[in-house]
Amino acid sequence: MVEAINHSTTEVVCCEPLLDGTLLAEEAEQLAAMFKALADPIRLRLLNVIAASGEGCACDFPAALGRSQPTISHHLRILVDAGLLEREQRGKWAWFRVREPQLNAVMDALRPPTPVR
């Protein structure tokens, strides 16, 4: 279906504010795509484990999370495509780091529109 997936960056910093009544159909699509990337327990645990130590090697995840190597690779791809992880090749190993700006962008969409208090 997807003819040429951008497997790396996804420089779109989606995420219009969710609660202020300005969310258009297309923006909702983009935001929903971000949430979809977060809507799986294995992917959340990948983010969690990687963020905890700053970075993580793909080689450790199948044993740590109890999923096969293809399954882990599949989930890592989804997180990278969503812009939530960045991938770096070191020798024959693949290392991943969390892209916190993208995570913050998702968080901002949930923030209520009450700028003053």
Partner DNA sequence: ATCTCAGATCGACGTCTGTCGATATGATAC
Partner DNA sequence: GTATCATATCGACAGACGTCGATCTGAGAT
Binding site for DNA (CB under 7 A): 1, 7, 36, 39-40, 42, 57-59, 67-78, 87, 89, 91-94
Strands lying side by side in the sheet with 56-57: 56-57, 93-98, 85-90
Residue with Cβ nearer its own copies (29 or 88): 29
* Least distance between its own copies and beta carbon 75 (Å): 12
Where do contacts with its own copies occur on this chain (CB under 8 A)? 18-23, 25, 28-29, 31-32, 35-36, 38-45, 47-49, 51-53, 98, 100, 103-104, 106-107, 110-113
Which of its own copies, DNA, none does 101 bind, CB closer than 5 to 8 A by kind?
none
* Least distance between DNA and beta carbon 89 (Å): 6
Residue 84, CA distances (Å) to 24, 72, 91, 98, 113 in order: 23, 15, 23, 6, 24
Q: Which of 88, 86, 74 is nearest to 40 (CA)?
A: 74
Q: In the block, which residue shows the tokens 């209520």?
A: 112
